[in-house]
Structure formats: C-alpha cells, structure tokens
Structure 1
C-alpha cells in the first residue's frame, strides 16, 4: 500500500509540476542545503524549506511532508542524509525516500529523529493542502476541505481555486466553491473582490457561512478625546442612554487611561482612616469629618499630596464623560465589507427565521400525527359508545410490547416491523373485545362506574406488564432505513421515523374514512352513533357494533403503540404519557368525529411545540400551559371544533 500511494502521489505531482526547471533534482539534493533548518525547524525558518520543496516539483514531496509532519523522518548524523525508518528494536532500518527500498541499518545513536513543533506542523499542513485537494482519493479531498474549514489561511486560496478546476465530484465541488467564497470574503485581495464574495454568500444558511460573516460585523467599544478619522464606526454611543450607562462610559474611560479608577465611598473612608495622623486627616480634624463634603475635601487634600490615588467627584466624573466621545467600531476596517456583510447576514437571518417557522410547523405536524394515532381509537369508542376508557393508554403499551416480543424472535427489523403491526392490532383487538364483553357491556350509561372500572383495569395492566417485562425500559429498534433524518438545510430537518409515523397516521385516516363511509360496518356504526334505538329497530345489533367498535379502537391503539415505541422507550408507563393528550385531542376536536380528531391533534401538537419553543427547557410547563389553553378553548366551544349534529348531539 505505501508503494501504491507513492506512485499515485508521483503521478499527481508530476501532473501538477510538469515542466519544472528543478524537476531533475532528487529529494536529498533539495533538502541538503536546508539541513540545519530541517533539523531544528521553527515557524520562522520552515517557510524557505517548504517553498523549495514545492518548487522542486518532485513527486515524493507530498509523502515527505506527511512523514515529516508525523515525525517519521530521520537524519544521519555522519553526513546529514535524510531517511524514512522502520524501528527494529536496537537498530533502525533505513528506507530511501524516493524508492522506499531498504538501504541499510543504523543504530539509534547514529540518527536524529526530526520532531517538528506544532507551528512547523501547521505550516506543513498548509503546504499539503494543495496536494490533498486534488488527491485521487475523494476521502482525502474531503479531509483537506475539513482541515481548511477548521483553520482557514489566505495561503490556501490559490490551491483551492486550482483544485476547483479539476474537481469531478459534484458534492465535493459544491463544498470547494462554497469554501472558496468564504476564504475570498475574508482574505480577498481587494474590497471589491471581498464584497462580491460576500454577496454570493447572502442566501446560504450554513453555519460556516455565518461563522465567516459574523467576525466582519463584530465591534469593539472605544472612547476618544476628539472624534476619530478613518475608523469604520458602527454606532456613536450616548452615555446614560439605554444599553450604555454612565457607569459603563466611565469604566471605558478608566480602561483606556482617560480617567482614574473609580473609588467608592467605602474605599474613600478606609483610606481616610488609614491616613489619620495625630487626630488629623491631612489638615482636617477627625471631629469635622461628619459630612460627605468634609470627607471629600480631606481625601482631595491627601490625593493632592500624593498620599492616596486621585478620586473624582460625581461632578468630575460627569465632566470627564462629557469631555469624550464613545463609539462602537467595527474590527473590520473596510466599510464596504461590513455593509455587505450586514446585508448578507440580514438576508440569512430572514431566511433562517422562515425556515425555523417551517421547521416548527414540521415538528408540530409530526407530534400531531402521533397524537392522532394515539387518539383515533379512543375517538371511535368514545363517539359510538360514550365510554370513557381510561385503559386506552395501556392498549398503546400492549402494542409496543408486542413489537418488542416480535423482535426477540425475528432479527430482521424490517420483517419484524411488518409482522408486529398486524399482530399488535390482533392482540389489542382481542383484548379490547374481551374487555368490552366482560366489563364495559355491564356498565353502559353509567359513566362514573365505567371510568372507575377502566381506571382499575389500567392499573392492573400496568402491573401485569411490570411482572412480565420488569420495570426496565425495553428497546423497540427501528429498521436501518428509518435511521437518520431528512435534512433540507442547516435549519430544517425531521427524522425518518417521524415521517413514517405521519404516513402511518395518514394511511389510517384514509382507511377509517373508507370503512365508515363505504362499508356496511361503517354504515351500522354511524347509525348506532346517531340513534342506537332506531338502529336496533332497523335490524342492527347495537351490542355487536359496540363490541366491534371497541375492538377496532383498541386495535388501532396497538398499532399506535408499535409506532410510538420506535422512538420512545417501551415501559409499562408508556401509555400513561399519551392518555391525557388523547382525551384532549378527542374533546377539542369533537367527540365521535374523525375529522375533528385530526383537527384536534393538529391544534394540540402545534400548540405544544409552539409553547415549547418559547420555553424549551421546561416541557412540563409547556404541557401545563397547553391544558390551561384547552380549558379556555372549551369554555367558548364546549362541543369541540367539529360538533356532532342531529340527535347524537343531544346525547
């Protein structure tokens, strides 16, 4: 591999330096005149060595620079010749720097290892950039770009521009062009060139772009006895105004040597006590130091004698401040550059704000899709049966644990997910039917007893889950194709799992709309929802519809559990985290209406994300504010966003 890499470097360097007048020299011949500079290299002397190496056009130069940077170049003390070495214990195997062939051995006492310091290695790294930017290996080109991004230097502009001309990879080319614009904006030869580069960066949202432009609009605060000329002034400051108090102005005068340090009254009094001699502070008796004016006068007398530092009075401070002018001055001296940078940053900030709003909307829609999946089953059972099922969250938990158990037996995460979704529906459907047949059917039209019974079932199911799976969180691993996120730019991104949950929620919305509007079961469900007695007189069995509806709602909760478990930890309390939001979604949207549930989930999801955006460090507070908002909302619209019409509305 080293030999192959040498040949690649040789071909590349021969291409870059074709026709060089020094190409006939060997690497040893180039280095020997710089023996002392190479042996004891410093930041001050290494430039000449590197310049001669690059000018030689030798194909071995990149490899030599890398070895020198990595402390793998040795010098023979006897004749000053340079070698690469292989350590063989007591002896060193010497390798020719041109052919890498062994040329003998030497003891360690006969050789000197070259150990360049950090400053020399930095110079070598800059020199290597021009080779690495056009290296045949794309990974080495990317590494070179990363090195420039970490430590930009004006010397890197020329090789970067040359490397752009020969780049064939579109992604790397885009990075090179952007980086060239960034370096030109900072290190361009003229103001016009820099402004042109800055204007080209105006629409880019990358962190690197903002990091390059921000230093151009940074300011320093300074005080002057007379207004300055030739400075790039950002703003003239008015002492005593908002953001620049008199104390800040005086501190600035002290820092720049225009005024003595402020001395507090306590420090003044301490100085007076220290300098009392024979009952006198200067020429003033201690008995007379009972007023602020007397203490000021005594201190001023001591200061005039050089005993204590000079202290300005309040009037003196005001006069000192009034005698000076204060400015925020750009660290960038060129006004055209700062104007262009400010305009570019303003444009970027506007786009960032728009994209942040879009990103917040995506987060809200993503959370809304989760709430919709969690609540849609509850909306069906609550809308048809008027049953407040406090165990609905535990059906979500059962679905998540079903997915976990499936993955114990099926190692392929994609296949296990495809199996887990219908199996979770079947398990929770069966559990829902059993619950309805054994408990719920005996408690119809008794909402308080139903609530207490389902709450007890909820606690029992949680305890059963703890007994079976323990209290430790269990992993439900997503397939590899759901890893990562869709990244639009440096501001907007959303995980693939959230996208998948959104698609799943949309699929269930369409499926339920089809079932309720296009199938006999849906017709019977709607009939029972509107008027159970009339539906029964038409030959529909309300008890069967209630059972099927409860099972369907429970089955959908199980599928929601699998989806939620892909990004949340699967524990026995998983369902408890979503039951409150599920009920709020149903109530806000309108009981028994799928479209209302969708709108309720959208409203609650976006509202929660909006509140979290204002208070990102406290999600509990965000949920509290959201509940308060919903309570207020219900006061004005007690039947929800989409209220039931007809006879069912009066039930």
Structure 2
C-alpha cells in the first residue's frame, strides 16, 4: 500500500518536473540571449517560449521582466531568487522551492533593459488574455490595442469564446476585427473586417483605416507594379522645385545649382581678373554669371549646370505617384470606401455634438440672464451688480456644503437658500438704492457698478481670493456617451433641465398668477396700473427681488462646473446683458431665443477657431452690434404700449 502511494506521488510530480526541465532546457538552448538580452535578439526566444505551450512560461516571463531571474555562475542554470543580506536563495523555476543558498557573487542577476521588457510584455499579453483576473484580461486587450501586431490575432481570437464578461468580449471582438483588417490571412478576410468597420466611429477604428491607407511617394519611369493612390501633377500637387529635388534624391540626377554655388565656383576660377572669359566687374549680371559658368563647364573645370530644359526633360520622363504601402488593391479600395462613410458619419455626429454643446451653453446663459430680463424689462434698471448675485448664489452653495457633507442633500438645501439670500439682497438693494434712481439710467448704472465692486471686495474679505470648490453629487459625475464622437456631461444635462424648469415656472408665474398679472400691467403701463389699485413700487421691489433670486439659483448651477471666485459674476454679466438685448427686453421667450442665438454663435466660432477662445467672444460682440443695427428691439420685441416706451 505504501509502495502504491509512493508511486502515485511520483507520477503526479513527474509532469511538473518534466515541465520545469523542459523550460530549463529551452532556456539553456538560448542561454546567451537570456543572460544578455537585447531587443534585436530576444524575438526568436520569445517565439520559442510561447510556442512551447509549457504551463510555467507565463510565470517565467513575468519574473524575467521584473528582473527576478538569476544565472548560477558555475553551470549557467537559471533560477528565481530571493535576497537575504549577502546571500541569495536560488528557487526552482517550477516549484519555487529553494534549491540552494549561495553567496550573491555566485549568481548573476539578469537585468533586461526597457526595450527588452517591452518585448516581454508583448509576449506576456497572450497569456494574460485568459487570466482569471478580469483586470489583467482587460489590461492585456488594451495593450494589444495600443500596439497592434499580427502575432496577437490568433491568441486574441482563441480567447473570445471563453470570455465570461460580455463587455470585455465585445471589446475583444472589436480589436480582433481591427487586427484582421490589417493582418488577415487573405484579402477576403481583410475586406470583410474592413466592411464591418464602415459604421465604427471610434478613434481606434479610424486609426486602423488610416494605417491601412498609409502611403509613400514613389518615383517611377513607365508603368509601375505598386498600388497607386494618386499621380501627383507637377505645379498643382507638388511644386516644380520639390519634384526635381525628389528626382535628385530617388534617381541620383544632378542637383540644380544655386546662385551662391555658381558664385563660389566663379570665385575659385578667377584668372587675370576674369572668370570664364568674362571680367569680374561684369559678373553682377546673372546671365553673364551663368555664361561664364557654362564656359568653365565646357573646359571641364566645373560640373555641367542643370538647365531648365534638363529639368523639363527629367520631369517628363518620370512619374511621381503616391502609392499605398499595402499592395492589395481590393483591401485599399474597401478601406477607402469605409473611410469615406466613416468620415461622413463623423461629420454628422460632430454637428450633433456641437449642437448639444450650443444648447448646453444657451441654457447656462438663459439661467444667468433670465433674472436680469425681468428686472430690466419691468423696471428699466441697468443692474451691473447682477453678476454678483450669481456669485452670491455660488458662495451660498459652498457654505451649505461646508455644513452638509452629503452633496445631494446640500444641493437640495442650497438651491432654495440661494434664492432666499439673493432675493433678500435684491430687495434691500432696490429699497436702499434703486428706488431713488428710477428714470435716471446713468446714475443707476454707476451706482450698481459701485455696488458690484463692493460685493466683490466683500467676498474676497470673507472667502479669500482662492477658488472655492462647489462639488456636484456623484450621480452627476461622468457623461452621457452616445458614441465615440457625441457625449455630454451629466452636469450640463442637469443645468439644461433646470433651465427648462425655470422657463416653465416663470411662464406660470407671469401668465397664471396675480403677481404675474400685476407685473405685466406695470410693464405695459405703470400709470394705468396704479390707477387700478396696483402698487407699482411694491411690484418693482418684488420683481427686482425675484430677478435677483433667480440669479442666485443660477449661481449654484454655474458653480457646479465653473470656478467659484469673487470675480465669477464678471464672466457672465456681459453675456447676460447681450442675451437680454438680443432676445428682446422684458420678454422671457426673447431671453430664451437670445441665449440660443448667442450660445450657438459662440460654439460655432469656437469650432472654426478652437485654439483662440477670445476670438469667439470678440466675434460674438461684433455680431451682436451688427444684429441690433437691423433689429434694435431684439428677436421678440414687446408689443402694445410697452413697446413704445
């Protein structure tokens, strides 16, 4: 019984010992490469290791890459090692058990350089594709995507069927399709893979098509066997000088001499005050310099000069073509067709993405300007401190978050509190300052401008000059990704929804409530409204407070994605006034139209000139100046008696 048990143990251990010995034998066959690897010589060894199918190859590659492999000096065998002071424990390549402990001088640590480690990592990817850890599998797929090679296609395809994660399986299939498009076994396989990419908008897919369609310039005489992309016309596609310089480089034709080279040649051959039989004093003329040079060339003193007729003859004798690096015309034709379709879809989606950005920016401008539209429309007050009410709302949100760490709860508290704080500040400002300056626009402008400066300084004194964080809830993190071209952040979507809610709320207040009725009455004819028992002063106070409160809520929304500083209101006051003026003073729908127009125009200019954001602001102001010349009352002008005020 004991003998049978011992025999079973021996049989179980035999494959492992055999595998370890096979790995050691394989390494010994490439001992010099393992001991002193280089990027040029390590390739065949890695291919042999991968092809061996040994189960311990992956572990060896990982430890070799990590500089954990040592070579014993006395026999050149390879081991893993663990240091302990001046001694090294040599570990078996398979079992990991200690074979012996030697002095550190008895073994050499193998230190592959960065290039070799990169090659090892590429070979190791094939084993990581089926690793139990999903992160390692995902990292392996991403590594293949970063550095696509034909050798990765077979192991990637082999790992797809057994991939348990659906998202990673789809990712593997997509990368495998890219590899098939570039490195497929035959033309039909590559064409099928390329056709499957016709609707792929990803950057990786577009890059793959560009790599398939990569070209080079080729000079040929007569028919060519290359896969021609285009024939370059001299003068249109390539200049005459560039074309002949290419012939000189590719076909070793004599180079055209520069004027300086001709001058130096003449200086070197001046004899008796003459060069080429022409007096030096006459060589200021280009034609005579060339004639003198031709004389010297005829005497064999200098090389022959390339004339214009020689250049014409050379350009007529050769063809300059852009040729595909790939020789399969069926593949390049399929790639060209797919690329054309992808570029069209990318353009459409870029327009859609730009439209979403414009809508998002318009919703921000609407939130910032709608409060100003109410106060400006009803009261005719140019409130330069409106931006500071936005700033006050943002700082209110920051203070609330300081006391309520839950960002969702703090946001729920901050929105109504910001409205209350700025509503009260607006009422106080109207009662203390604005009420004494009605119908005096210049004095009102100066007074509110002074108040804005005072509020900015107060904010600096209380909160400092450093930007303060106003953090959005976790459910607003990230973006809604429609495809690889179109995406919009959730915070922008939330602001858009908030703008729609305020639009509906304001329309309800103005159209369906007594306050709205009285506001519209005071807006159209304050004297008639007063005779009907409406208190215009009270309505103006409430209206100013309402507009200021809405600015406070806008400040909370804007602060979620913009910096919260004492100057943040200055970034929006100009756009707010422009939105109100363009849309139509005193009209909520006009404010919405103005915000849409300005947001769309600004995003359009930024798309045309993305490297200069200041240009968008400048062109936008110029556009508005021109617009109000033709429509001074805005897009949606007031009708009735208020329109004539």
Among 212, 222, 231, the alignment partner of 2:226 is 231
Deviation at 1:556, TM superposition (A): 0.5
Deviation at 1:577, TM superposition (A): 1.3
Aligned partners of 1:38 and 1:114 also within 8 Å: no
1:60 aligns with 2:56: yes
Summarize the alignment of residues 2-13 of structure 1 with structure 2, pairs less than 5 Å apart. none
Corresponding residue for 1:13? none
Corresponding residue for 2:172? 176
1:615 aligns with 2:601: no
Corresponding residue for 1:166? 162
Among 458, 473, 476, the alignment partner of 2:470 is 476
Label 1:532 to 1:291 Cα distance change in 2 as closer, same or farther (>3 A): closer
1:462 aligns with 2:459: no
Label 1:51 to 1:254 Cα distance change in 2 as closer, same or farther (>3 A): closer
Q: Which whole-Å deviations, capped at 9, do the CAs of 1:535-584 have from their partners, x for residues lacking one?
A: 22332222211111110100010111111122222222211111111111
Aligned-partner Cα distance in 2 for 1:144–1:187: 19
Q: Which whole-Å deviations, capped at 9, do the CAs of 1:197-251 have from their partners, x for residues lacking one?
A: 1111111111111111112222222323x223311111222222x2322111111
User: TM-score when scaled to structure 1?
Assistant: 0.91
Aligned partners of 2:180 and 2:190 also within 8 Å: yes
Consecutive unaligned residues in structure 2, runs of 5 or more: 1-13
Aligned partners of 1:398 and 1:558 also within 8 Å: yes
Corresponding residue for 2:569? 575
> When the two structures are aligned, how many residues end up with a matched partner?
629
Corresponding residue for 1:363? 357
Summarize the alignment of residues 410-449 of structure 1 with structure 2, pairs less than 5 Å apart. 410-449=404-443
Corresponding residue for 1:110? 106
Consecutive unaligned residues in structure 1, runs of 5 or more: 1-20
Aligned-partner Cα distance in 1 for 2:146–2:355: 34
Among 149, 153, 156, the alignment partner of 1:157 is 153
1:40 aligns with 2:33: yes
Corresponding residue for 2:591? 597
1:335 aligns with 2:329: yes
Q: Which whole-Å deviations, capped at 9, do the CAs of 1:455-499 have from their partners, x for residues lacking one?
A: 222222222223323333323232333333222222222222222
Corresponding residue for 1:9? none
Among 190, 206, 211, the alignment partner of 2:207 is 211
Q: Secondary structure at the match of 1:166?
A: coil
Aligned partners of 1:371 and 1:581 also within 8 Å: yes
Aligned-partner Cα distance in 1 for 2:116–2:268: 56
Corresponding residue for 2:632? 638
Q: Secondary structure at the match of 2:18?
A: coil
Aligned-partner Cα distance in 1 for 2:321–2:130: 47
Aligned partners of 2:213 and 2:325 also within 8 Å: yes
Deviates more, 1:468-477 or 1:416-425: 468-477
Deviation at 1:36, TM superposition (A): 4.7
Deviation at 1:46, TM superposition (A): 4.9
Q: Secondary structure at the match of 2:161?
A: helix
Corresponding residue for 1:100? 96
Q: Secondary structure at the match of 1:71?
A: coil
Q: Secondary structure at the match of 2:82?
A: strand
Deviation at 1:358, TM superposition (A): 0.9
Deviation at 1:96, TM superposition (A): 2.6
Corresponding residue for 1:201? 197
Among 339, 343, 352, the alignment partner of 1:349 is 343
Aligned-partner Cα distance in 1 for 2:24–2:40: 17
Aligned partners of 2:23 and 2:57 also within 8 Å: no
Summarize the alignment of residues 67-82 of structure 1 with structure 2, pairs less than 5 Å apart. 67-82=63-78
Aligned partners of 1:32 and 1:80 also within 8 Å: no
1:535 aligns with 2:529: yes
Q: Secondary structure at the match of 2:71?
A: strand
Aligned partners of 2:19 and 2:56 also within 8 Å: no
Q: Secondary structure at the match of 1:85?
A: strand
Aligned partners of 1:391 and 1:457 also within 8 Å: yes
Deviation at 1:57, TM superposition (A): 4.1
Deviates more, 1:58-67 or 1:363-372: 58-67
Deviates more, 1:614-623 or 1:477-486: 477-486
Aligned-partner Cα distance in 1 for 2:614–2:282: 63
Q: Which whole-Å deviations, capped at 9, do the CAs of 1:357-383 have from their partners, x for residues lacking one?
A: 111111111111110001010111112
Among 65, 78, 85, the alignment partner of 2:81 is 85
Deviation at 1:164, TM superposition (A): 0.9
Deviates more, 1:506-515 or 1:536-545: 536-545
Aligned partners of 1:38 and 1:46 also within 8 Å: no
